[in-house]
A and B are shown apart, each in its own frame.
Chain A
Amino acid sequence: MTDVDFNDVQGLLRFGYGKMTQASYALLRVRDAAAARAWLRAAPVTSALTMNPPPPTALQVAFTAPGLSELGVPSSVIAGFSPEFVTGMTEESRTRRLGDVGSNAPAQWSWGYDSDLPHLVVMFFAQPPGLTTFIQSATGPDWSRAFEEMRWLKTADLDGVEPFGFTDGISQPRIDWERQRDPTRPQIDYSNVVALGEFLLGYPNEYNKYTDRPLLDPDAASANLLPAEDAPAKKDLARNGSYLVMREMEQDVREFWKFVSQETGNRDAAAKLAATMVGRTRAGDPLVPIQKEAIPGISPDEAGQNRFTYGGDPSGSACPFGAHIRRANPRNPDFPGRPASLIKRVITMLGFGPKGFRDDLMSPVRFHRILRRGREYGPGLLPEDALSPALPNEPARGLHFICLNANISRQFEFLQNAWIVNPKFSGMTGERDPLLGTRAELPGCPVTADFNQPRDGRLRKRVDGLPQFVTVRGGAYFFLPSLRALRYFAAKRSN
């Protein structure tokens, strides 16, 4: 049993709303703060309570830092949120770390930069065909007085397949809602169970500590907020909330399949090369074998595609180091070489553990997990059809990437920087993520567009000159509040 009040948590933290295959996200700016607060007070925001039968629709709300300010939240309160959230995704130094350079640069984004930064996003989900009706009823007559609609991000239901044609969303961390795992114990094997506080603010994280967040003095305004677990005299505005990272990533599906076809010359080999770039086949099967031993947090019904680590593939010959899913989740534990005893761990800690070239290159993954909630957009295109020329005025397609995490810099940003776009990931040089990476140069690193496939006892295969397949078109950091915090933001104020 968990002591988290699901009634206070927005549902997206617990559910992907997979049955609600229709979704649309409204990027909004506040037109009239009082009207906006009134709309938010009445908004039918969906909680994380399990309902029977499941609801046919869901609505979620998240705010940017300027959005909170616009609603009248005092700047002293906003300053208590994390620096990444407060300064935003497009801060110049940050863009270097995130790979938002060259064609990904925020100045060219269609939303999220400068005056194009939304104040909030309202996310509508519905079982088909209910979305249009749901949006009409949920927005209501006060909507247009309250908000200026910057943009509607429409999504498409590609039936669990992302636009390049690969089954997506297979691997997700399992949140330790019950707080049964002791994160201070060294983890010598990979586990998929991650501390509650890595995703929900106000609870202990993988260091068994509370992530920084605004703690308020009790007063009339904060009376209904929950107290902070680690400071019971304070009100915890962020408790049961999370940070929501949103990025619009346009995928050049035709370019992707054209490239792998030209590199290989036939359909089967093209599919194989594409699979090595992803790290899974199109059906979602990993390139390394499924292991017999159970992995904590991976249930038997998902074992067929998820019960694996790269421990048995140290050379990267089954799944290349640079494959997308190996970068995004290297599935590595705290130590190299599984030091089971305390003495062995001390020996490893002192630097006398495994000394191979590729040993111990990465930070333990449990500090860098994210909960993915993205959805596709644009018309589906089968890989078989992707080789034909684009139709005139073909709409763009891609992913509205969404992830939830409690510490943006240690989770999303670390993952994006140190693993996805880093040309030096895992002892390599000259390649970034084959799917997502920018191909921009770095000083002294003129090549970033290779993709290596190591082979045991043979010369690696290398593909070079990878085009950039994904271009960032927009993005922002949001705060996804608890329902109590939402009522605090939306409370009647004089201004």
Chain B
Amino acid sequence: MTPQSNFMVLAPIEPSREVALRALLDSMNEAPGRVNPKNALIPFEQFDRLHFGRLVILNDQTTGDIRVYRREPQTYPLYLALLGDIDGDANSFLTDLAGRAAAGLRAIFSCCADFYADTDLVSWMQSHEAPAIANYVNWRGRTVRRAREEAKLRDAIEDYLRIHAPALADLPAREIHQRLRQFVQAEKTAGRLPLAPEERTPLRWSISNLLHLLGMPLLFLLVLPLLLLITPFYLLRLRHLEKTDPELCARVDQTYSDGLAQAEDHLVTNQFTAMGSLKPGLVRLVTTIGILSIVNWGARHIFTRGRLARIRTIHFARWVFLDNRKRMVFFSNYDGTVESYMDDFINKTGFGLNMVFSNGIGYPRTNWLALDGCQDERKYKDFLRRHTLPSQVWYKAYPGLTAIDLERNSRIRQGLETAALSEADARNWIALL
């Protein structure tokens, strides 16, 4: 199994170069919100380990919100972020990236504050890595290659069925399964249908994954006595904060929202970037770190097969702290419109949403951290839209496929690789076609 990983290169933009940078990034698109996968700067489609790629100027609209706590906003640098979700380890990918897109990357990064003509690209990117505190992968082990091969497999089966459907119409499920197995086997033998077997799981990854799996609960047990001791004080403080933290859920400026919408809904999948400042104080920081560590642990060890709790539409997502944990960015790649994405969250996993995002300034009022909050739909949607940033460049390796498509295709393949299915399994299997 090839595990997925990610990278995010984060660098302050040289103010005098911002306009030039924006022009460069725009040149990578065919139209607003529609990347040219062959663009000259970073020809994304050449990288067959890259699921999603994104370039964003992290222009937070809401840094002034901290004034509600009677604090003056800090001046933060304007950052450029280059991020990707990839198969295998990040370092080898960055090396490959630098090898094939050196000129383009140099042109882009030369708009950043500390990048010079003689800078070593790979080590500069590595030293500007901004690690995620929590990361979600829809399906651990499904590589870009596998996603594409399985999509081709489905297409091949569809083509076969287009011709042979009448002959198969009244056959029992297991018989159809057998015939399709034969067909696919023949196609594979003829070299028309590559279906690579899974690679060996890297040992280092397995070990570190096991350590993470056990380490977190162990750590939790270790500090449990301390936690129990603190809990009453923590809850008292949290309840007080929940009742007094101001909400900032004004209607977003329509022009801004329309600008975001220009880049949305071109594909069945959309990108999402949201950014904001954490509420001041240790309690909120600790809560954020604690909850996100749990989310990360759950995503890494439990929710590895197509579902983040009840949500089935997210391909990849991550949370990243910025500026000494004063600010946070959330990135995701999800199926459907932003409206349906938000509805999904509110209706299906509002508790999780509240626990994470209510530590951001202005979030609709929660109750015991998990309750209420986003259940005030209007406030939540306005809050989120106001924190949303446009992605200047966004690439997806399989534009027409939703997470559900990928799951179906995997299930089709799984069925085909089973020599004989039970009657019940065969019935379920042909229902996928």
Contact B309 A349 (CB under 8 A): yes
A212-B378, A351-B310, A444-B399 known; A457-B343 Cβ under 8 A: no
**Which residues of the other chain, B, contact A207 by a CB distance below 8 angstroms?**
346, 375-377
Contact A457 B266 (CB under 8 A): no
Contact B343 A414 (CB under 8 A): yes
**Which residues of the other chain, B, contact A83 by a CB distance below 8 angstroms?**
251, 254, 257
Q: Is B223 among interface residues, defined by CB-CB distance under 8 A?
A: no
Q: Is A93 among interface residues, defined by CB-CB distance under 8 A?
A: yes
**Which residues of the other chain, A, contact B408 by a CB distance below 8 angstroms?**
357, 427, 429
Top 9 nearest A-B pairs by Cβ distance?
A444-B400, A444-B399, A93-B261, A351-B309, A445-B400, A457-B427, A96-B265, A418-B340, A207-B377
Contact B340 A211 (CB under 8 A): no
Q: A93, A94, A184, A315 — which one has the most chain B CB atoms within 10 A of its CB?
A: A93
Chain B 392-413 per-residue mask, 1 if CB under 8 angstroms from chain A, else 0:
0000001111101101100100
Quote the shortest CB–CB distance from A70 to chain B (angstroms): 20
Quote the shortest CB–CB distance from B372 to chain A (angstroms): 10
Contact B400 A209 (CB under 8 A): no
Residues in B67-107 with C-beta less than 8 Å from chain A: none
Contact A459 B400 (CB under 8 A): no
Contact B430 A458 (CB under 8 A): yes
Chain B 335-352 per-residue mask, 1 if CB under 8 angstroms from chain A, else 0:
111011001101111010
Known interface pairs A357-B431, A459-B430; 20 further A-B residue pairs with C-beta atoms within 8 A, sorted by A's residue number: A93-B261, A96-B266, A207-B346, A207-B375, A207-B377, A209-B378, A349-B349, A351-B302, A351-B308, A355-B307, A357-B432, A414-B340, A414-B343, A423-B268, A444-B398, A458-B171, A458-B172, A459-B171, A460-B430, A462-B161
Question: In the complex, A457 Cα to B424 Cα: how many Å?
Answer: 8
Chain B 251-269 per-residue mask, 1 if CB under 8 angstroms from chain A, else 0:
1001001100110111110
Q: Is B173 among interface residues, defined by CB-CB distance under 8 A?
A: yes
Pairs across A and B, CB under 8 Å, 13 listed: A96-B266, A97-B265, A212-B251, A351-B303, A357-B432, A363-B344, A414-B339, A417-B337, A418-B340, A442-B267, A442-B268, A443-B266, A456-B427
Contact B310 A413 (CB under 8 A): no
Contact B254 A458 (CB under 8 A): no
Contact B401 A444 (CB under 8 A): yes
**Which residues of the other chain, A, contact B261 by a CB distance below 8 angstroms?**
91, 93-94
What residues make up the interface of A, taking CB atoms closer than 8 Å to B? 83, 86-87, 91-94, 96-97, 184, 205, 207, 209-212, 315, 334, 348-351, 353, 355, 357, 360-361, 363-364, 367, 409-410, 413-414, 417-418, 422-424, 427, 429, 442-446, 454, 456-462, 464
Who on chain B is nearest to A452 by CB? B433
**Which residues of the other chain, A, contact B339 by a CB distance below 8 angstroms?**
409-410, 413-414, 417
Contact A93 B262 (CB under 8 A): yes
Who on chain A is nearest to B308 by CB? A351
A96-B266, A350-B309, A351-B303 known; A462-B173 Cβ under 8 A: no
Contact A424 B404 (CB under 8 A): yes
Question: In the complex, A353 Cα to B348 Cα: how many Å?
Answer: 12
Contact B176 A211 (CB under 8 A): no
**Which residues of the other chain, B, contact A413 by a CB distance below 8 angstroms?**
339
Contact B399 A443 (CB under 8 A): yes
Contact B169 A458 (CB under 8 A): yes
**Which residues of the other chain, A, contact B401 by a CB distance below 8 angstroms?**
444
**Which residues of the other chain, B, contact A353 by a CB distance below 8 angstroms?**
310
Question: In the complex, A349 Cα to B370 Cα: how many Å?
Answer: 12
Quote the shortest CB–CB distance from A463 to chain B (angstroms): 11
Question: In the complex, A461 Cα to B431 Cα: how many Å?
Answer: 11
Question: In the complex, A294 Cα to B349 Cα: how many Å?
Answer: 29
Contact B400 A363 (CB under 8 A): no
Quote the shortest CB–CB distance from A201 to chain B (angstroms): 12
Q: Is B199 among interface residues, defined by CB-CB distance under 8 A?
A: no
**Which residues of the other chain, A, contact B405 by a CB distance below 8 angstroms?**
424, 429
**Which residues of the other chain, B, contact A445 by a CB distance below 8 angstroms?**
268, 400
**Which residues of the other chain, B, contact A429 by a CB distance below 8 angstroms?**
402, 405, 408
Question: In the complex, A465 Cα to B330 Cα: how many Å?
Answer: 41
Question: In the complex, A350 Cα to B370 Cα: how many Å?
Answer: 13
**Which residues of the other chain, B, contact A459 by a CB distance below 8 angstroms?**
161, 165, 168-169, 171, 176, 430, 433
Contact A87 B258 (CB under 8 A): yes
Q: A184, A209, A459 — which one has the most chain B CB atoms within 10 A of its CB?
A: A459
**Which residues of the other chain, B, contact A464 by a CB distance below 8 angstroms?**
162
Q: Is B312 among interface residues, defined by CB-CB distance under 8 A?
A: yes
Q: Is B170 among interface residues, defined by CB-CB distance under 8 A?
A: yes
Who on chain A is nearest to B424 by CB? A457
Residues in B101-146 with C-beta less than 8 Å from chain A: none
**Which residues of the other chain, A, contact B351 by a CB distance below 8 angstroms?**
349
**Which residues of the other chain, A, contact B161 by a CB distance below 8 angstroms?**
459, 462
**Which residues of the other chain, B, contact A334 by a CB distance below 8 angstroms?**
347
Who on chain B is nearest to A364 by CB? B347
Who on chain A is nearest to B264 by CB? A93
Q: Which of A93, A212, A414 contacts B258 (CB 8 A)?
A: A93
A348-B310, A357-B407, A424-B402 known; A418-B336 Cβ under 8 A: yes
Who on chain A is nearest to B399 by CB? A444
**Which residues of the other chain, A, contact B176 by a CB distance below 8 angstroms?**
459
**Which residues of the other chain, B, contact A355 by a CB distance below 8 angstroms?**
307
Contact B267 A444 (CB under 8 A): yes
Who on chain A is nearest to B335 by CB? A424
Quote the shortest CB–CB distance from B122 to chain A (angstroms): 32
**Which residues of the other chain, B, contact A349 by a CB distance below 8 angstroms?**
309-310, 348-349, 351
**Which residues of the other chain, B, contact A457 by a CB distance below 8 angstroms?**
172-173, 427, 430
Who on chain A is nearest to B167 by CB? A459
Contact A361 B254 (CB under 8 A): no
Residues in B337-387 with C-beta less than 8 Å from chain A: 337, 339-340, 343-344, 346-349, 351, 375-378, 382
**Which residues of the other chain, B, contact A350 by a CB distance below 8 angstroms?**
309
